[in-house]
């Protein structure tokens, strides 16, 4: 409008009302109009909006008024003036007469303009502003500014995920009434409101949003390339917070995920520090390829199958790459499960995606220093109930009697050579000590409105309960990140780097020590002789401490760096660049000294040296567009991805050292061998996303990705993946609000899409060769073919369906969700037999095998009690997984016809020998002789096993807060079976056994039992039958367990105490993990299901966290 433009260009006069009289008293000569209008403002309380240029052209006024009505007084003032006025509500508008006709229409509907910021004054883009009368909406630009039409009594609602919404009403007296989240009202007078209409001067409307308090619906969910809230999310995403991680004394952050997310099965392989952790998201989607999720740390792929998670020499299984991450540096872990969440990751997302976000500096907290320290111990959670010396010797004597053999010093040193009165609790001696656990963290963070930073350093050390090198596993981490808002408010730049140095001296051979602890005869000789040297007892045993004399030194350095820049080219159009680099290098040294070998051994000392370097870089440019369309918000994203991974290693073995003192010098070896390997992996993609949100009630999200991978041959390297997800928040419908007032939240969600799997190794489609160990021509070793060319080698693909319901009851005091998922994976890679003339036994190729994973995930979160001093909240989740083989063309004639059954689970063991029990007459394991030929053979006597009950897992966690005391504890239950329930060795040989074996063993004809007779003859029928048990259904037993997994007790010192010593907060705490386990599993641990591996340890720490 011309009047608006005119006012903006020429300036304006705006006067604020302070009194509320309706009459005017004024006497004066040659008064300026500005002076008169100022008096009107002071005496009436009316605001005055006028054009300064026009007022300066008005003639001076002489007035004499006493208690004159306002309207009469203004008529007198503007008589014979080039100005006119209009009173609207409590505002007087003054304008040149030629523009007076525009005022009524202008005041009927004004254009409210302003800026939205957070509590620190930072601009908030993408704020949704809805006029609840007209349903028209606007969105703030990159600098937080907005413009929207309003009339009297209109309500404007401002909302953004992670912030409390505010509603502002334009009232009849030209005020904006702002209702805060707490219900308090602040009035912005019409001086500010109309300044938005008339100018861009500081009188514009200003709105400030405050960050939301915790609410499940408003939790910000990271989905990698974009974020949303739990309320508006269209996909299946579970989140583990940094607070939940820090309440657990762990070195590997993946362990903290156990039980915390439905559909995510976490299994720890061992209790050795640094051991691997296996994560399976919604089941196994491949028969042959990798089943690991895609891991992303701050936007950079990390820890995948090419990361070299153990030493190059291969002498350790206890160095997992995720042990290089500091749990205290992690802010959140998000698990993406369905197609809506994972399809944007294309070929890498078939097995799910795990997003790890590290902590960043936060505005508003000021500069603060935090010190965290804890110290504790780790112990074996339980011991096996093994035989004492008398029971063991009686078992051995019965074994020789059963076999008709005579004990000799060679076959029975435990009976004829060793002290038969000696008893050693080997579990206590070799695995029963308390391992030390130490963790210290230092963090400094802060910054101003436009700049935030965080610096941290950490030290972690823990050793093992086994008598290996007491230096154990040590880790030093440092992290730095910064975020800078650009001066024009249109963009930001953030960068971060983490460096970790790990030093591990826990070799693979520690496994031997633990197996000795559970199997050594209780009367075995002392570990040391009278001179303090290893006791070899004249060669009658292998000293279990020998492996602890083997020297192993694994050092690794890991760098994770990332850079993110974004900039708004236009208010609704932005560009973004995300780039990252990870570098993992490792140095190995292994030494097998003469002192670790028996004096009767003829071998010499040997050593190994190796180094490896793994580099992985990624760059992802993106462009995005956000705008309002109708009553909804549209978000568009288009991006590309380029990734390169390279790995190189070299190794050298030295033999025939003359002295253990020279084992660190490869030049002192009598002879050497060496080798190495390398690979390059390249990956490229283009991806896009479109999301439309209508009224925060109906959401549709679509993603697409085109991937290319160097792991496939020409013509097979590219494939496309897509997904569509939608959600309906039906609790926002008026009929629901009226009919179901107790339902505070309700949402239906569905998604469908495709993902792929390229975890197949590198160069598998090519002819490959390896240098042979055979003697070559003139000293040059020959090349031996190791793989056949297959140009048809291509992607495995998965189609995913997800259906979900979410509910909130009683103002969200109870929140529930139920999700059904179904995944069908096809184009499976399998091994196909080849004729022997080819020189190869098989070739890996794709075939139309179809796998199906399905299941139900249930989740309940509740606030059980809440008062001023006490609060109790609970969380429960349950996962019921199912799988079956849908199709396998040619299965009947393939080598897997006795492995899988179409229509049944492909993870269950289906074929083997049918166990009939221990034969009452012979005392031997008995099996069904299917063909009746009097012998048991794999060709004719294998049968189909009965279908097993389906596994499931569940978790219940509780948080109680009483004043300054906090208590958290969680129970984890896993319903499962295990296939090695048979005895680990034939009872009666020179190994200890469970007491239940001794007490229930067969001893005479007619005995009914499941424990066979004792046998000492390693070539007896007892051994043959024992081996058959490996593939029999008798070895399949229940291994379910209930575990009190975690307890965390804390106390926050009162602020009144701390205010005098300049401390913001001070907490003392005690945390424990793997506290108690209840199970019928009779071996070491039902989680690892391996008697030879040290089970996950019970760790208890006490510590303190001080923030300055």
pLDDT score recorded for residue 102: 58
Mean pLDDT of all residues in 78-107: 72
Closest CA to 1034 of 983, 981, 996: 981
Q: Which pair of tokens denotes residue 156?
A: 């404007």
Mean pLDDT of all residues in 811-839: 87
Is the pLDDT confidence value at 830 over 80? no
Q: Across all residues in the chain, what is the average pLDDT?
A: 85
Whether the pTM exceeds 0.95: the reply is: no
Q: What is the pLDDT of residues 913-953, one digit of tens each?
A: 999 999 999 999 999 999 988 888 877 899 999 888 889 99
Tell me the C-alpha distance between 696 and 694, whole Å: 5
Q: Which residues pair with 959 in a beta bridge?
A: 873, 968
Higher pLDDT, 553 or 329: 329
- Choose the weakest-confidence range: 206-215, 552-561, 754-763: 206-215
pLDDT score recorded for residue 774: 64
Query: Are 1037 and 1030 in contact, with CB atoms under 8 Å apart?
Result: no
Is the pLDDT confidence value at 611 over 60? yes
Asked if CATH classification 2.60.40.1120 holds for the domain at 109-208, the reply, yes or no, is yes
Is the pLDDT confidence value at 622 over 70? yes
Mean pLDDT of all residues in 55-81: 85
H/E/C letters for each residue in 496-511? EEEEEEEEECCCCCHH
* Phi, then psi, of 515 in degrees rounded to 5: -65, -35
Higher pLDDT, 10 or 542: 542
Domain-wise residue ranges, the chain: 2-105, 109-208, 216-356
Mean pLDDT of all residues in 44-50: 77
Banded pLDDT at 1043 (limits 50, 70, 90)? very high
Tell me the C-alpha distance between 227 and 355, whole Å: 12
Tell me the C-alpha distance between 953 and 860, whole Å: 15
Closest CA to 347 of 683, 579, 638, 846: 683
Q: What is the pLDDT of residues 856-908, one digit of tens each?
A: 999 999 999 999 899 999 999 999 999 999 999 888 888 788 889 999 999 98
CATH code of 216-356, in short, is: 2.170.130.10
- Dihedral sign, Cα of residue 1005, residue 1007, residue 1010, residue 1012: negative
Residues 6+ apart with CB under 8 A from 77: 33, 36, 61, 63
Q: H helices of 384-425, where? A: 389-403, 413-416
Banded pLDDT at 305 (limits 50, 70, 90)? very low
The percentage of residues in the chain with a pLDDT greater than 70, rounded to a whole number, is 89
pLDDT score recorded for residue 173: 55
Q: Check residue 45 and give left, alpha or beta (phi > 0: left; psi -120 to 50: alpha).
A: left
By residue count, the chain amounts to 1108
Tell me the C-alpha distance between 353 and 347, whole Å: 11
Q: Is 247 exposed, middle or buried (0-12, 13-18, 19+ CB in 10 A)?
A: buried
Is the pLDDT confidence value at 199 over 50? no
Q: Is 866 exposed, middle or buried (0-12, 13-18, 19+ CB in 10 A)?
A: exposed
pLDDT score recorded for residue 8: 28
Query: Are 577 and 225 in contact, with CB atoms under 8 Å apart?
Result: no
- Beta 353-358 vs 294-297: how paired, if at all? parallel
Distances (CA, A) of 837 to 603, 830, 1037: 40, 21, 43
Mean pLDDT of all residues in 738-759: 91
- Exposure b/e, 897-911, CB count within 10 A at least 16 = b: eeebbeeebbbbbbb
- Choose the weakest-confidence range: 371-385, 459-473, 548-562: 459-473
pLDDT score recorded for residue 212: 61
Query: Are 797 and 826 in contact, with CB atoms under 8 Å apart?
Result: yes
Tell me the C-alpha distance between 618 and 299, whole Å: 9
HSE-CB for 80 with a 13 A CA cutoff: 5
Closest CA to 954 of 872, 1047, 881: 881
Higher pLDDT, 828 or 90: 828
Q: What's the angle, vertex CA 317, arms to CA 316 and CA 320, rounded to 5?
A: 110
Banded pLDDT at 314 (limits 50, 70, 90)? low
- Beta 91-96 vs 47-50: how paired, if at all? parallel
Tell me the C-alpha distance between 307 and 188, whole Å: 58
Banded pLDDT at 510 (limits 50, 70, 90)? low
DSSP code, position 51: -
3-state secondary structure of 426: helix
Banded pLDDT at 1048 (limits 50, 70, 90)? very high
H/E/C letters for each residue in 201-232? CCCCEEEECCECCCCHHHCEEECCCCEEECCC
Q: Which pair of tokens denotes residue 353?
A: 């995606």
Banded pLDDT at 663 (limits 50, 70, 90)? very high
Q: Check residue 508 and give left, alpha or beta (phi > 0: left; psi -120 to 50: alpha).
A: alpha
Residues 6+ apart with CB under 8 A from 264: 238, 257, 279, 280, 281, 335, 337, 352, 879
* Phi, then psi, of 1025 in degrees rounded to 5: -70, -35
3-state secondary structure of 153: coil
Closest CA to 296 of 628, 643, 804, 682: 643
Is the pLDDT confidence value at 1103 over 70? yes
Banded pLDDT at 679 (limits 50, 70, 90)? confident
Q: Among the ranges 103-107, 707-711, 922-926, which has the highest mean pLDDT value? A: 922-926
Closest CA to 319 of 581, 548, 510, 505: 505
Q: H helices of 509-642, where? A: 510-519, 546-549
pLDDT score recorded for residue 924: 94
Is the pLDDT confidence value at 722 over 80? yes
DSSP code, position 309: -
Tell me the C-alpha distance between 73 and 27, whole Å: 12
pLDDT score recorded for residue 313: 56
pLDDT score recorded for residue 356: 93
CATH code of 2-105, in short, is: 3.55.50
First to last CA, the chain: 56
Q: What is the pLDDT of residues 1000-1033, one digit of tens each?
A: 999 999 999 999 999 999 888 999 999 898 889 9
pLDDT score recorded for residue 10: 29
- Dihedral sign, Cα of residue 769, residue 773, residue 776, residue 781: positive
Calculate the CA 669 to chain-centre distance.
Answer: 46
Residues 6+ apart with CB under 8 A from 623: 573, 574, 575, 576, 637, 638, 639
pLDDT score recorded for residue 1: 32
pLDDT score recorded for residue 331: 92
CA trace torsion 399, 403, 404, 406 (10° rounding): -50
Mean pLDDT of all residues in 354-358: 93
Is the pLDDT confidence value at 49 over 80? no
């Amino acid at each position: 409008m011309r009047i608006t433009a005119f006012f903006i260009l020429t300036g304006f006069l705006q006067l604020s009302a302070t009194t509320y009289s309706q009459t005017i008293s004024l006497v004066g000569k040659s008064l300026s109009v500005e002076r008169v209008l100022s008096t009107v403002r002071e005496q009436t309380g009316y605001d005055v909006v006028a054009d300064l240029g026009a007022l300066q052209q008005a003639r001076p006024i002489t007035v004499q008024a006493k208690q004159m009505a306002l309207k009469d007084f203004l008529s007198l003032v503007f008589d014979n003036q080039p100005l006119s006025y209009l009173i609207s509500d409590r505002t007087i508008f003054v304008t040149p007469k030629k523009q007076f006709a525009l005022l009524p229409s202008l005041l009927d509907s004004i254009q409210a303009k302003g800026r939205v910021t957070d509590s620190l004054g930072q601009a908030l883009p993408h704020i949704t502003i809805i006029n609840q009368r007209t349903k028209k909406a606007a969105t703030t630009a990159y600098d937080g500014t907005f413009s929207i039409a309003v009339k009297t009594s209109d309500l404007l609602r401002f909302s953004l995920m992670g912030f409390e919404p505010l509603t502002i009403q334009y009232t009849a007296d030209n005020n904006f009434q702002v209702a805060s989240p707490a219900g308090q009202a602040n009035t912005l007078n019409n001086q500010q409101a109309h300044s938005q209409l008339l100018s861009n001067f500081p009188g514009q409307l200003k709105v400030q949003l405050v960050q939301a308090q915790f609410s499940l619906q408003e939790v910000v969910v990271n989905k990698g390339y974009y974020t949303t809230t739990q309320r508006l999310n269209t996909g299946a995403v579970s989140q583990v917070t940094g607070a939940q991680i820090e309440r657990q004394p762990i070195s590997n952050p993946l362990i903290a995920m156990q039980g915390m997310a439905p559909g995510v099965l976490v299994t720890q392989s061992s209790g050795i520090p640094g051991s691997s952790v296996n994560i399976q998201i919604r089941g196994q989607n491949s028969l042959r390829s990798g089943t690991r999720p895609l891991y992303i740390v701050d936007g950079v792929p990390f820890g995948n199958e090419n990361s070299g998670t153990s030493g190059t020499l291969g002498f350790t299984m206890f160095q997992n790459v995720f042990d290089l991450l500091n749990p205290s540096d992690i802010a959140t872990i998000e698990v993406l499960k369905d197609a809506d969440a994972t399809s944007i990751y294309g070929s890498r997302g078939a097995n799910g995606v795990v997003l790890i976000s590290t902590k960043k500096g936060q505005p508003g907290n000021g500069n603060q220093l935090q010190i965290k320290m804890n110290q504790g111990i780790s112990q074996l959670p339980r011991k096996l109930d093994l035989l004492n010396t008398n029971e063991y010797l009686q078992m051995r004597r019965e074994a020789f009697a059963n076999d008709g053999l005579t004990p000799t010093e060679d076959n029975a040193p435990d009976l004829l050579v060793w002290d038969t009165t000696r008893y050693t609790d080997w579990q206590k001696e070799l695995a029963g000590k308390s391992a030390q656990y130490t963790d210290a963290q230092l963090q400094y963070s802060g910054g101003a409105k436009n700049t935030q930073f965080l610096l941290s350093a950490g030290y972690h050390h823990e050793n093992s309960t086994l008598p290996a090198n007491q230096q154990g596993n040590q880790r030093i981490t440092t992290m730095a990140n910064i975020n800078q808002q650009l001066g024009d408010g249109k963009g930001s730049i953030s960068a971060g780097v983490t460096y970790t140095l790990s030093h591990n001296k826990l070799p693979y051979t520690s496994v031997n020590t633990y197996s000795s602890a559970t199997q050594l005869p209780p009367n075995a000789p002392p570990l040391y002789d009278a001179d303090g040297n290893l006791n070899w007892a004249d060669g009658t045993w292998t000293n279990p401490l020998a492996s602890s004399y083997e020297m192993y030194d694994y050092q690794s350095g890991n760098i994770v760096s990332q850079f993110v820049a974004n900039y708004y080219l236009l208010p609704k159009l932005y560009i973004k660049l995300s780039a990252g680099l990870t570098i993992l290098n490792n140095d190995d040294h292994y030494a097998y000294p003469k002192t670790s070998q028996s004096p009767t051994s003829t071998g010499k000392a040997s050593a190994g040296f190796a180094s490896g370097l793994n580099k992985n870089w990624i760059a992802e440019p993106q462009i995005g567009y956000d705008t309002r369309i109708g009553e909804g918000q549209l978000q568009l994203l288009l991006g590309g991805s380029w990734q390169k991974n390279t790995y190189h290693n070299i190794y050298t073995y030295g033999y025939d050292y003359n002295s253990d003192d020279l084992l660190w010098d490869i030049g002192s070896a009598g002879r050497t061998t060496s080798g190495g390997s390398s690979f390059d992996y390249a990956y490229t993609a283009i991806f896009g996303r479109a999301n439309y949100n209508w009224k925060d009630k109906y959401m549709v999200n679509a993603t697409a990705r085109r991937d290319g991978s160097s792991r496939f041959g020409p013509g097979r390297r590219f494939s496309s993946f897509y997904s569509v997800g939608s959600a309906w928040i039906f609790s926002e419908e008026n009929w629901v609000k009226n009919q179901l007032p107790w339902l505070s939240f309700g949402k239906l969600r569905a998604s469908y899409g495709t993902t792929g799997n390229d975890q197949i190794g590198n160069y598998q489609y090519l002819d490959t060769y390896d240098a042979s160990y055979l003697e070559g021509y003139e000293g040059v070793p020959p090349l031996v073919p190791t793989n056949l060319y297959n140009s048809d080698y291509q992607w495995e693909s998965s189609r995913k369906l997800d259906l979900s319901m979410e509910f909130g009851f009683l103002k969200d005091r109870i929140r529930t969700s139920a999700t059904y998922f179904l995944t069908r994976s096809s184009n499976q890679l399998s091994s196909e037999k080849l004729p022997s003339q080819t020189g190869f036994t098989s070739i890996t190729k794709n075939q139309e095998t179809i796998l199906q994973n399905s299941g139900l995930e249930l989740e309940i979160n509740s606030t059980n009690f809440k008062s001023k001093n006490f609060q109790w909240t609970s969380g429960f989740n349950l996962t019921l997984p199912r799988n079956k083989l849908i199709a396998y063309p040619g299965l009947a004639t393939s080598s897997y016809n006795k492995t899988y059954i179409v229509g049944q689970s492909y993870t269950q063991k289906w074929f083997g020998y049918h166990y009939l029990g221990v034969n009452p007459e012979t005392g031997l394991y008995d099996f069904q002789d299917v063909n009746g030929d009097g012998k048991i053979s794999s060709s004719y006597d294998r049968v189909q096993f009965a279908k097993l009950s389906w596994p499931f897992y569940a978790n219940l966690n509780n948080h109680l807060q009483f004043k300054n005391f906090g208590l958290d504890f969680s129970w984890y239950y896993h319903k499962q079976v295990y296939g090695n329930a048979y005895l680990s060795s034939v009872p009666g040989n020179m190994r200890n056994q469970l007491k239940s074996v001794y007490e229930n063993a067969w001893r005479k004809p007619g005995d009914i039992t499941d424990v066979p007779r004792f046998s000492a003859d390693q070539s007896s029928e007892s051994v043959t039958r024992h081996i058959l048990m490996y593939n029999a259904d008798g070895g399949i037993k229940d291994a379910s367990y209930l575990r009190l997994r975690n307890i965390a007790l804390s106390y926050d010192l009162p602020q009144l105490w701390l205010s005098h010593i300049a401390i913001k907060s001070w907490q003392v705490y005690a945390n424990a993990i793997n506290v108690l386990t209840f199970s019928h599993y009779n071996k070491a641990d039902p989680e690892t299901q391996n008697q030879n591996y040290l089970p996950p340890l019970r760790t208890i720490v006490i510590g303190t966290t001080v923030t300055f």
